[in-house]
Amino acid sequence: MTIRPIKSLGQSFLIHEPTADALIAALELKPDDTVIEIGPGKGILTKRLIRACNNVIAVEIDYRLVCYLEAEIGESPNLKIVHQDFLKFDLNKFNDAKIIGNLPYNISSPIIFRLLDNISYWQRAVLTTQREFAEKVLLPAGTKGSGVLTVLCEYLCTRRRLFNIPPRFFKPSPKVISTAFTLMKRPSPAVAISHPEFFYKLINAAFTPQPRKRLINNIALNLGINKEILKNIFVQLNLPLDARAKDLTLNQFALIADVLFPYSQ
Ligand code: SAM
């Protein structure tokens, strides 16, 4: 069956078998694991997954590929193919699932946000994205290029770069280099924060509208907190008044969130 790839769905299919093996190895599967695959495509990972564990759920948005997979793999008691947008797929019925996906690059960010929002239901994710995007996820907060995803991933997960994947390992070849990495849920978040909901709001406010604008201005604008109060808090915490969101470590964000919370009520 020939499938004409749809660019807007990020359809670049992995064709390099050793890379598929290495991605599966990084999941460290046990037979009883439940694995959710994001966008199985033509099934290069799916075939390996059903050999390694008993419960694989492959979520694919393109009905042509659902049919292709059904024809290619046939009936397997280990596999359930779900025809759905992963961004609408309910993760809350799972417990300690493992996640794998060579992600459609245009929606890598909403997919990872969705995984972080549903962190209670999975334990490990092996993901492949465009290299520059992976770098953002893998950076420590407080370094150039960091963003909301950087801080939240560091807060909730330990992160490990696996390897780069050259364009020629995919068909059709993307124009960019890809990077595979692992996110492992921490047993508890990296820092203790009294009001995590407010911490999330603060991180979003800090990087919006622009990560390069002064942090005090972004927080004042987005959370409606008086600038003088913010300046006093920054002085109290020994933070430069002209700090940018990208300059702050996770611990510093946590400290600001705790001190600022009463002013946000
Ligand atoms: N896993 C396959 C591989 O490695 O060859 C395919 C990877 S391809 C980069 C991305 C896959 O995600 C495609 O099969 C595409 O149809 C699917 N996809 C795109 N958007 C999706 C979405 N919102 N939900 C589920 N699958 C999606």
pLDDT tens per residue across span 13-72:
999 999 999 999 999 999 999 999 999 999 999 999 999 999 999 999 999 999 999 999
Atom of ligand 1 nearest to the CA of 89: 24
The token pair that represents 128 in the structure block: 């492949």
pLDDT tens digits, one per residue of 163-202: 999 999 999 999 999 999 999 999 999 999 999 999 999 9
pLDDT of 34: 98
The string of pLDDT tens digits covering residues 65-113 is 999 999 999 889 999 999 999 999 999 999 999 999 999 999 999 999 9
Q: Ligand 1: which residue has its CA nearest to atom 12?
A: 39
Please give the share of the chain, as a percent, with pLDDT higher than 90.
95
Q: 213 pLDDT exceeds 90?
A: no
- Range in 1-5, 145-149, 181-185 with the lowest mean pLDDT: 1-5
Task: Give the nearest ligand 1 atom to 6 CA.
Answer: 16
What pLDDT, on the 0 to 100 scale, is given for residue 211?
66
User: From CA 129, how far away is CA 127, in angstroms rounded?
Assistant: 7
Task: Tell how far the Cα of 8 is from the centroid of ligand 1, in angstroms.
Answer: 10
Atom of ligand 1 nearest to the CA of 128: 9
Atom of ligand 1 nearest to the CA of 46: 1
The two three-digit tokens of residue 21, written as one number: 């093996």
Mean pLDDT of the chain: 96
16 Cα–ligand 1 center, Å: 16
Residues lining ligand 1, Cβ inside 6 A: 9-14, 38-42, 44-45, 59-62, 65, 85-87, 102, 104, 107
Mean pLDDT of 140-161: 96
> How many angstroms does the Cα of residue 207 sit away from the middle of ligand 1?
29
pLDDT digits (tens, 9 = 90+) for 58-77: 999 999 999 999 999 988 99
